[in-house]
Amino acid sequence: MRTVDELIAEGVSGKRVLLRADLNVPLDDSTGDPVITDDGRIRASLPTLQALREAGARVVVAAHLGRPKGEPDPRFSLAPVAARLSELLGAPVPLAADTAGSGAQAAVEALGDGDVCLLENVRFEAAETSKDDDARGALADRFAALADLYVDDAFGAVHRKHASVYDVATRLPHAAGRLVATELDVLTRLTEDPQRPYVVVLGGSKVSDKLAVIEAMLPKVDRLLVGGGMCFTFLAAQGHGVGGSLLEQDQVETCRRLLAEAGDKIVLPVDVVCAEALVADAQVTVTPVDAIPDGLKGLDVGPHTVELFGRHLADARTVFWNGPMGVFELAPFTSGTRGVATAVAAVDGLSVVGGGDSAAAVRQLGLPEDGYGHISTGGGASLEFLEGRELPGLAVLSGGAG
């Protein structure tokens, strides 16, 4: 797989480079104008972007935001992203009037060496996510007409067979951006020869979302610590009542099988923080997992669980963490995620935060990002890589030049 640095070494000055970036940031529009609440993905795109600018490339950035229904929708415009990117680069980043039409062409034609423009949300085009190869191909042709070279730095999208991720790379000479190369290196270290003990921490709401990665990783890890809403289906499989907690009844038998196969590898919470409702001023009760009251919901792991998980992490040499331990967005339920995140950061070895809500939690809770070996930008892509699946965006980069 060729890298952007190899591309730069060959010479990109004056060339138009289509850079697929992952700028899918959370927005808060409750006060009117949308405000970016976490610019981590934008900042993660800067090393590749700056390298191309400094080498004299004319950089055309393509990205998506949210899930518009294949047509322009002002709620999902990349205008706030263009403004933030301009601030971070200290240079104007004009937003094209469209994704790959006359507005995009005009924006690209106005670029000088070292300049950057941003195309409007690629998902404003229905063909971007189409299952029809010809439809995606036609859009990829329009993208390819805007550039001489293609660089994919959107790790969070490499598991998608989309026009701007997969098809355009078959049409232009291509390379992996620095972020994609780093993600690939780190995840390969997790799968091929991790230092031991190797501990995986999984949270989030549903077992069904993590089932494939649990099945794939159980034979490879020394311990698997399970928290978040998904732990209650495992607890139910052990015969415990879970009150009003999140429960996937159709996964109970699967969890029972996994517990039997894993022996003592799977470690579950011993206490949970419960409340009647998911509200910011909830009255909370900490209870052992075998005594959850019928009228309460488990919404975070308890302090004894944080201590237990901390002990299992203390001697780890490799850790992968994906998914919060509770509803960390609300103050009464932050302690579990904060405690486990702190224990992961203290690991003497490689600690990887697997993107998505875990990365958001690190930033929202004010934890130092440099305390971790790597914070992934792609939760879904990270999990699919660890499951052993082929990711279309990576597979096409490994092919020959377009």
Q: Point out the catalytic residue in the list 142, 206, 317, 363.
A: 206
Q: Compute the radius of gyration of the chain from its Cα atoms.
A: 22
356 part of the active site: yes
**Nearest residue to 84 (alpha-carbon basis) of 34, 131, 159:** 34
- Determine if residue 41 is labeled as part of a ligand binding site: yes
Q: Point out the catalytic residue in the list 20, 41, 58, 84.
A: 41
The per-residue b/e assignment along 365-393, b for 16 or more CB within 10 angstroms, e otherwise, is eebeeebbbbbbbbbbbbbbbbbeeebbb
8 A C-beta contact, residue 112 and residue 53: no
- Determine if residue 357 is labeled as part of a ligand binding site: yes
265 part of the active site: no
CA distance 200 to 217: 8
CA distance 159 to 119: 21
- Determine if residue 131 is labeled as part of a ligand binding site: no
CA distance 176 to 165: 11
- Residue located via tokens 């409007």: 120
Q: Point out the catalytic residue in the list 203, 228, 336, 356.
A: 356
- Determine if residue 196 is labeled as part of a ligand binding site: no
- Determine if residue 84 is labeled as part of a ligand binding site: no
- Determine if residue 363 is labeled as part of a ligand binding site: no
Helix boundaries (H) for 145-247: 178-192, 207-217, 231-237
Q: Which residues pair with 350 in a beta bridge?
A: 318
- Determine if residue 160 is labeled as part of a ligand binding site: yes
Q: Which long-range contacts (CB under 8 A, 24 or more apart) does 126-131 make?
A: 126/70, 126/71, 127/70, 127/163, 128/64, 128/70, 128/162, 128/163, 128/164, 129/70, 129/160, 129/162, 129/163, 130/163
380 part of the active site: yes
Helix (H) or strand (E) holding 139: helix 133-144
- Determine if residue 66 is labeled as part of a ligand binding site: yes
Q: Point out the catalytic residue in the list 177, 227, 336, 380.
A: 380
- Determine if residue 358 is labeled as part of a ligand binding site: yes
- Determine if residue 329 is labeled as part of a ligand binding site: yes
Strand order in the sheet with 318-322: 266-267, 223-226, 198-202, 318-322, 350-353, 374-375
**Beta strands at 16-20 and 58-62: parallel, antiparallel or unpaired:** parallel
CA distance 81 to 24: 9
241 part of the active site: no
- Determine if residue 64 is labeled as part of a ligand binding site: yes
**Nearest residue to 372 (alpha-carbon basis) of 313, 331, 328, 325:** 313
Residue list, annotated binding site for substrate: 22-24, 41, 64-67, 123, 160
The residues that are catalytic are 41, 206, 356, 380
Residue list, annotated binding site: 22-24, 41, 64-67, 123, 160, 210, 298, 329, 355-358
Residue list, annotated binding site for (2R)-3-phosphoglycerate: 41, 123, 160
Residue list, annotated binding site for ATP: 210, 298, 329, 355-358
